[in-house]
Structure 1
Amino acid sequence: MDLASGKTSSESAHAFQPKHPALSWGVKIRRKLKSVAPFLGRFRPLVGQCCHQCTPESLGLKLLRNTPPLGFQNLTCVNERHTRYRGWLVRRVCCVLFVWGREVQPSPAGDRLHRVHNSERVRQALMMACSPDEAKATELVMPVVRHHLGRLVALIETFISPTLVRLVSLVLLKFLSLMFCSVQVNLNQMAALHRATQLKAPLVYVCVRQSAIDHALICLTLFCHNLRVPYTLYPSKVRQTWLRTILQRLGVILLPENMGSELEAEMDSLYSPVMTSFIGELLQEGAGLSMGISMDKGDGGQWMARVRQAITDGQVPDVSIVPVGISYDCLPQHFIHPQAGMMSALWFVVSLLKGDHRGSVRIHFTQAFSLKEMCESGKCRVDGGRPLQDLLLSAILYDRMDSIFGQKDVSWLLPPAVMPEMPPAERQQTIALTLHLMYSSTSNMAVMSTSLVSCLLLHKHCKGVRVSVLCRDICWLLEEVLFRNTDVGFGGSLVGLVHHALALLRPHLLLAAAPPTREPVIAPRPDWNSLVTLSQHCNLLTHVFIHEAVGACAISAMLSEVVGCGGGGDMEFDVVLGQEELMEKCLQLTHLLSAGYIPPCQTAHSFALDVVDSMVRCGVLVMEEVQRDTPVCDFMKRQGVLSWATSDNPDQSSDSDCEETDMRSFKLSQPSQCPELLFFLCSLLSVQLRALCWAFESLHYLPLPITETDCVSQLHAHLKNRATLDKVHHESSSIDLVRMALHTFIDLGVLTEDRQREAVYLDISPLFSQGGNKEKLLQFFSQFMYN
């Protein structure tokens, strides 16, 4: 049976076959794979449930039920069965009939401008922005209000036109059918969304920003299933007046015309209070919202703060949050930057008409949860977090581990310059919520076929692999992904899966024929664009295997300390690893991870404990047997071991009251040889760790002090030159990794910030101007990599 829809393997495999095969060598691969048995899906995990720790009451509603699966639906496949009519004419206009039969709730602007102006928050902001005479005039005359609100008035008057929504949805269905071979949604999750609408709370959809069509996919899915189309927060600059007019009538809230970025808009004294009141009015009307959060910059948290403010002000009793995970087989690169040139757009249209490289999309709507419950539960918190330099500097410079047992401060997700009027407690709560939504959206994304193939080629077979071996490893990796309760965005036979993935990745791969059987051998192209693209496909699998990746890097660091080197073929594997030392290494590396890997309702220490357990579970570590005079299981003869604390009340006692705790020891499961799984897991995080090392080594080439923007661009150039000269590891020189490294250096205190009026200038800290401290920090980063 097919993993996705319960169809037979041959039926599902046919969906992956392009009309015109993109590979001239596709026949060779299919011939080789004919003898391979088709993959039979025996298990599909239930994904999309809300956090049991932060929102137990929402989980108890069982909106997302563990019932027999309803299957999946391809949004772009519309036929006469989706209409009430039948016949040959209906088959030709079925898409038009389907779209015009959908329900769209109109959302006129009405007197929204007056209501926003009359809010206490906006009135106070206008009083501060106006002169005393103008302040009196604003009480009576709306033209004066319009003068001071300026171009914000057009944003407030954004509304949803049902006719235009239907027309654009019709165009989108045709356009997406050319752009993707399928756009799949889980019907069980759509049924859960219909149940969530019965709670009478506005729905807010949150996704991680990947491309400019993310929100279009969300709105189109809701439209096709008769759910209310939300207002979309799209923080990009759109210059064309006609395009702005159309988007605003589709409910798209854009940036003001005279502002180029979210940060620039937030610096305006009127923008923040007006938008806060505007969002509150929309939620009070019962409208939904669709917003995105940036993983590397943290942009988007301010909108969640405004949603929370609507509950605090009493405009709505509660709001239901729906994290959305969108997975692409092949990310639409031309739609990442809306300001792409006309030639790029035309070239993209031509490629669509040719039908080249048509991937698929999987959209996961997770279970809606109560925002009020999450905020009041107190489980999702980041207050008390300490700066990264407080957590790691003592370990880096003085080898002291007393400070690593703490939480990392992530205040950069909502800096004080954004919404400065917000109280510190609410700011910390909003940061925790934003961090949790980043984690929830990412962890509920489906793993696509291109991710599996890219991960194996980049981290296990970087020098090339035979197709038969690649297929064997795909089956292994697929089972490991499903075992970790992560869904996949494909189904069908192994032949169709491999051919589909290789067809999409063909521009980034090399093909050769291995004698004497002439079996195809696949290898990644050794150029910057190919390796960075493959690495982007691997990002999701790094999230899936994050426990095992952190554990493997910690083990590698401990083994390097044993032999006193940075790894290599002479490393000794037959050693005993203590749990305490392993935990310390895991905590050090955990603090270096980017945002989104760990939910804020879990402490770093708890995450490190899970890391150790996962390494035992996956078979890399085995517990070391300790010889005892008395067997561990013979509790009757172990007198005095379980001596409890002074409390006589059994309800107040816990496992932590036990005075003696046996610290465990571990050994590698394959001490006689280099464990293959261990180094595969190490390689998953080596891309980020190598970027940290390269960026730190390149800091002394920069003309410091330097603005943050120039620092990113120049570091990016240095890393690309480094990869070109070494002819390896181009994947560690992407712009996203440069931003991540720069963020880490600022948090760690390597770079100091000088905030001036025109920009933020960075300079290296005097502490790391010394050669000895430079070597210690570089050694700290590199210890987790196995070379």
Structure 2
Amino acid sequence: MVDVISARVQEAYVGWRQSFFSESSENREPVGGQRPNLSAINHQSRRRQNLEKESIKLLRENSLYQIKEIPTKATVVAPTPRPFMGLSCGRCTPGSRDVIAQKALKKSTAVNLLNLGKTYDSKGVISRNFYDIAQAIRVKTFDYKQVSPMVVKDERVKQAIEQITQDRLFKQDNTNKDAKDDVKKLTHSQIHKSEERRAHQIVKQMRSTMSNFLLRLTSWTLYKLLPFFVSSVAISPAQTEMLKKASDSGIPLIFIPLHRSHLDYILVTFILLNYDIRCPLVAAGDNLKIPLFGWLLRGLGAFYIKRRLETNGGEKDITYRVALHTYIVHCLRAQNNIEFFIEGGRTRTGKPLLPKGGILSVIIDAYLDGTIEDALLIPVSMNYDKLVDGNFVREQTGMPKQMETFTGAIKSIWAVLNSHYGNIRVDFNQPFSMRELVRTFQQHPSKLSPPPFLKNPSSDRFALKQQNIDGNGSITIEKLSMERRLSSRLSCSSLYGTDVAVEEQRGLVEAIARHVVYDCTHATAIMSTNAVAFLLLTKYRKGCSLSVLAQELESLTTELLFNNKDVGFTGEPVDVINHVVNLLGPGLIVKEREGDDIIIKPVLIQPNIIELSYYSNCFLPFYALQSIVATALQVLISSSKLAAKDIQIRHDDLVDLSLQFCEMMSQEFILYKPCQKLNDVVNETIENFVYKDILRLIHDSKTEDQMWSRRYAKTLDDDDDDDYQENVCVVYKLGLDEKSVRNRLQMQTVLRPLLEAYCLTASCLPRILIKEENDYITESKFTREVLSELKDALDSGACNYGEAVSIDAIKNCIKLFREWGVLDSHIEGRQRFLNISRQYANELKLSKISELLHKFKTEMPKEVLPSYLNR
């Protein structure tokens, strides 16, 4: 600190001296036209330099004296203010949102957690020189009660064991009716004791053993190791202030992060520990229960959950489910905080997964039955410049996942410590009351079951009947899924099926889960690798100059900040691009020199582009609706025989097509919050197109009174009433600036890789049809066949997007076809079997399904085609 102050004083003085003497020499003219005496000037100059040295020395001594005598506080230069992200929903939790003070909003900055220990005002020698040790010693300790002994004594577990005993006795009696007399039968006592022992073993293998000593040791270790492979862990002090206030309330905190890396739960615990907030118990998969590391994670708060909660025969494991449910309830009752990943596992594509509501259903059930008074839900968003876990190319190309082992963990840690992964950003959303959210949904049941967004509801929900095919033989999504709402059923592989969640609570759990994922997604900060990868894959797949890419990056950053979307990087665009190129390496992005220009190109080899698309896909949730509307606009333009500038587009047609495409993407994205309506968000997106001059309004039959009524009706939050329908005709045409329209419509390529995968999956449906009656094909085998076809299409040039080869996209398309009723499925053991449903059991109907999806692949006319595709 002394050196910094003295250096700054010296720099200021030297700068003043140079400017003063330069001005003096410029203003001084020779007297009488005589030449100046150079020796005298040199003598004076040397004298001045000696005087300056003496004055600087004296000034430094005085400064040192003052610093020693006068106590000063460490000052930190305030970082650039960032948009405050993660506020709770104003519609669903207005009371929680009002808790945020404007003062906290103004302090929305990002600081590096790795420098946190250095900012503490300390006087001791150890604290000054060994801040990491001092910080580990300083952290606050909490009493983490062990609840496992109470779990096995809980009445709910006892009742479940008794019920299982009775079921096993009944099954044994029926099985042994025709058996020989010498077959040994188990008594009630034997079966009961066996289930009791199993329940004890389940709880023992599941429980967390949180240790304050291990927490401190891990804090010190991370302070030492993280700087080896990351530049910073950026967090917002305003967000941590919110967490402290929430922690002081005495209400359990439920942390719900999106899952990207194994480092996620360690980072959350590390941050909370250093800010003196009670660390949560973390629900972890039992695949992490490996030697040494499993014990360490258990001591840091992990409680282990089986990946599949069924027995080997595919039956529900009631004992395990009840033990898990009871353990979580007792943890909440003991005022422990909980952390779980609502997606279930890490995203393999870079975009968020649809939620699984098993653990969330337990917490909601604990509130509804009065076990806990309330809980504060805290969505958490994390993003990485470069993923520490490597990549998921193997899994996306059909290879099985490699299980975690002790040797593999050691090799991974060594490789990580010898690599560089850039920056990490962690954002904690505003805590909001689960009680308030539940009451809001209970008061407005329509939010739990949004009204159909498609026209002409039919009594048949998913099936397509013969009369649903129009005279031209075409099929529309309205006829496929009349009452289908844009949401998928939550995973039933977690805790559903026991007394954990009754049927009427499923809608409530689903709505809250989707709201949390939506909030997490839109609070995720964009990292530099996300932005550069997105630009290269959507605009410059064939490469562009460094200067052009820098301009686009600056424009994209400005647009994100304008839309109140934070970015996790700062600096000049050229420096940011160079940072990304060096970080991702030549395997993903190539930097070449052509003449006087430097060209940046993405590597379009299929495995490499899958890895690069992981970083680009972080943008998909933010541009999904725009891409959907742009694709619908593309279909309308392509179906017209007029020139692009003469095409007229009806608003109703554009909305209908957009809703159909939204239905197709229902397994990929959560496009709107449960408290919103899809029609409204689609209309807002179209209005945004008008604002950007992509579309221009040429006819609107609404009067001023109608427009005022419509705006006023939007402000009313009366979900029980039917939507206000206006009998109006709104017509658009393309913006007059065709170059601007061409550039703006490049967003329609964002979803093109998904479309490629979906269309080819639909084309492969007849492969299931040719099977004999009652002959089913496993989902895994069908997925591999589609994946092989995608690779062949990529090699032949029929597919232009290497990132379309994605096993996740194929699986989501299969889920969509199951929702539409095109596919039937059943589970035997641990495998799912597929077959074509009776309603579609002919090639004609399957070809119409394929045509329905291919409709959205229609190419844009050349005059409005994105420039890089029109070459």
Which TM class, normalised by the smaller chain length?
0.7 to 0.9
2:647 corresponds to which letter in structure 1?
V
After TM superposition, give the deviation of residue 338 of structure 1 in Å.
7.8
Alpha-carbon separation, structure 1, partners of 2:311 and 2:691: 48
Counterpart among 100, 108, 112 of residue 145 in structure 2: 108
* Residues 586 and 42 (structure 1), Cα distance of their counterparts in 2 relative to 1, 3 Å cut: farther
Give me the CA root mean square deviation.
3.6
Match of 2:791 among 713, 720, 736: 720
**Tell me, which stretches of 5 or more residues in structure 1 are unaligned?**
1-40, 564-569, 645-649
**What letter is aligned with 1:444?**
A
Aligned residue in 2 for 1:369: 432
2:608 corresponds to 1:530: yes
Are residues 1:682 and 2:748 paired?
yes
* Identity within the alignment, %: 21
8 Å contact 1:574–1:671 — kept in the other structure?
A: no
Q: Aligned pair 1:755/2:755, yes or no? A: no
Q: Contact conserved, 2:284 with 2:340, CA < 8 A, in 1?
A: yes
Selected match of 1:603 from 652, 673, 677? 677
> 1:65-84 to 2 correspondence within 5 Å?
67-69=105-107, 71-82=109-120, 84=122
Which whole-Å CA distance do the structure 1 matches of 2:137 and 2:723 have between them?
66
Counterpart pick for 1:321 among 362, 368, 377: 377
Cα deviation, residue 729, structure 1: 0.9
- C-alpha displacement of 1:149: 0.6
Task: Quote how far apart the aligned CAs of 1:401 are.
Answer: 4.5
Does the 8 Å CA contact 1:459/1:683 hold for their aligned counterparts?
yes
* Native 8 Å contact 1:768 1:774 kept in 2: yes
CA distance in 2, matches of 1:145, 1:752: 36
Task: State the shift of 1:467 in Å.
Answer: 0.7
Alpha carbons of 1:709 and 1:309: their partners in 2 closer, same or farther (altered >3 Å)?
same
Asked if structure 1 preserves the Cα contact closer than 8 Å seen for 2:463 and 2:822, the reply is no
Partners in 1 of 2:301 and 2:679 — Cα distance?
44
- Contact kept, 8 Å, 1:75 with 1:184, in 2: the verdict is yes
Corresponding residue of 1:503: 582
Q: Report 1:143-182 matches (<5 A).
A: 146-155=196-205, 157-182=207-232
Instruction: Tell me which of the two structures has the higher relative contact order, counting C-alpha pairs closer than 8 angstroms and 6 or more residues apart.
Output: 1
Match of 1:293 in 2: 342
Q: Tell me the equivalent position of 1:234.
A: 284
CA distance in 2 between partners of 1:592 and 1:51 (Å) = 27
Instruction: Look up the SS of the partner of 1:151 in the other structure.
Output: helix
- Name the structure 2 match of 1:94: 131
Q: State the match for 2:176 in structure 1.
A: none
1:263-274 counterparts in 2 under 5 A? 267-274=316-323
Q: Are 2:599 and 1:521 aligned?
A: yes
| Deviating more after overlay: 554-563 vs 400-409 | 400-409
Instruction: Name the CA shift for 1:240/1:278 in 2 (closer, same or farther; >3 Å).
Output: same
Letter of the 1:187 partner, please give it. Answer: P
1:2-401 map, 5 Å: 44-62=82-100, 67-69=105-107, 71-82=109-120, 84-85=122-123, 87=125, 90-109=127-146, 112-130=147-165, 146-155=196-205, 157-255=207-305, 261=308, 267-294=316-343, 298=354, 300-334=356-390, 339-340=403-404, 345=409, 348-355=412-419, 357-378=420-441, 379=444, 381-383=447-449, 390=461, 397-399=474-476, 401=478
User: How far is the alpha carbon of 1:364 from its aligned partner?
Assistant: 0.6
SS of residue paired to 1:784: helix
CA contact (8 A) 1:556 1:783 kept: no
**Quick one: which amino acid aligns to residue 652 of structure 2?**
E
Q: Displacement of 1:75 after TM fit?
A: 1.9
CA shift for structure 1 position 164 = 1.0
Question: Aligned-pair distance for 1:57?
Answer: 1.3
* Structure-2 separation of matches of 1:651 and 1:612: 22
Rounded to whole Å, the distance in 2 between the matches of 1:446 and 1:365 is 11
The CA distance in 1 between the partners of 2:486 and 2:794, in whole Å, is: 31
The alpha carbon displacement at 1:368 in A equals 0.4
- Relative to 1, partners in 2 of residues 1:768 and 1:534: Cα closer, same or farther, differing over 3 Å? farther
Q: CA deviation at 1:287?
A: 0.7
Please list the CA deviations of residues 262-301 of structure 1 after superposition, one character each: whole Å capped at 9, or x if unmatched: 5669931111111111111111111101110226765641
Determine the C-alpha separation between the residues in 2 that align with 1:103 and 1:643. Answer: 57
Partners of 1:217 and 1:436 lie apart in 2 by 24
Structure 2 match to 1:10:
none
What is residue 430 of structure 1 aligned with on the other side?
A: 509
CA distance in 2, matches of 1:724, 1:263: 41
Larger Rg: 2
- The one-letter amino acid paired with 2:106 is P
**d(CA) in 2 for partners of 1:180 and 1:578?**
52
Aligned to 1:23: none
Q: Name the CA shift for 1:367/1:605 in 2 (closer, same or farther; >3 Å).
A: same
Match of 1:773 in 2: 845
The alpha-carbon distance between structure 1 residues 114 and 239, as it changes in their structure 2 partners (threshold 3 A), is closer
Question: Are the counterparts in 2 of residues 643 and 659 from structure 1 also a CA contact under 8 Å?
Answer: no
Equivalent-residue separation in structure 1 for 2:778 and 2:717 (angstroms) = 58
Partners of 2:418 and 2:474 lie apart in 1 by 58
2:657 equivalent among 578, 581, 585: 585
Between the aligned partners of 1:225 and 1:659, the Cα distance in structure 2 is 52
Matches of 1:784 and 1:145 in 2, distance apart? 55
Instruction: Work out whether residues 751 and 765 of structure 1, in 8 Å CA contact, stay in contact via their aligned partners in 2.
Output: yes
Query: CA, structure 1 residues 212+699, in 2 after alignment: closer, same or farther (shift >3 Å)?
Result: farther
Assess, with a 3 A threshold, how the Cα gap between structure 1 residues 487 and 643 changes in structure 2: closer, same or farther. Answer: closer
Task: Please list, as runs of the form range in 1=range in 2, the aligned pairs for 1:415-494 lying within 5 A after superposition.
Answer: 418-421=496-499, 422-494=501-573
Aligned amino acid, residue 788 of structure 2: A
CA distance in 2, matches of 1:470, 1:233: 42
1:577 aligned counterpart, secondary structure: strand
Counterparts of 1:771 and 1:251 in 2: how far apart (Å)? 54
Q: Using the alignment, how far apart are the partners of 2:856 and 2:309 within structure 1?
A: 36
Partners of 1:63 and 1:271 in 2: how far apart? 44
Structure 1 residue 611: deviation in Å? 2.3
Asked if structure 2 preserves the Cα contact closer than 8 Å seen for 1:413 and 1:431, the reply is no
Match of 1:764 among 836, 841, 846: 836
1:346, 1:178 → 2: CA distance?
A: 16
CA-to-aligned-CA distance 1:91-115 (integer Å, 9 cap, x gap): 5422111112111313131xx3343
C-alpha distance in 1 between matches for 2:522 and 2:299: 33
The residue that corresponds to 1:32 in the other structure is none
Q: Is the 8 A contact 1:267 1:417 kept in 2?
A: no
Structure 2 CA distance for aligned equivalents of residues 409 and 444 of structure 1: 21
Name the counterpart of 1:540.
Answer: 618
Is residue 83–residue 565 contact of structure 2 (8 Å, CA) maintained in 1?
Answer: yes
Question: d(CA) in 2 for partners of 1:696 and 1:571?
Answer: 32
C-alpha separation between the residues in 1 aligned to 2:407 and 2:327? 38
Taking structure 2 as the reference length, the TM-score comes to 0.75
Q: How many angstroms apart in 2 are the aligned matches of 1:414 and 1:298? A: 13
CA 573–754 in structure 1, closer or farther in 2 if over 3 Å, else same: farther
Distance 1:233 1:166, change over 3 A: same
Residue 209 to residue 169, structure 1, CA distance change in 2 (3 Å): same
Cα offset, 1:191, TM superposition: 0.8
Size of the aligned set, in residue pairs, is 716
Where do residues 552-701 of structure 1 align in structure 2 (5 Å cutoff)?
Answer: 552-563=630-641, 572-593=644-665, 594-625=668-699, 661-670=727-736, 672=738, 675-701=741-767
Q: 1:785 aligns with which of 847, 851, 857?
A: 857
Alpha-carbon distance in 1 for matches of 2:785, 2:274: 46
Residues 54-73 of structure 1 deviation map (CA, whole Å, 9 limit, x = unaligned): 11111122268553225222
Aligned to 1:22: none
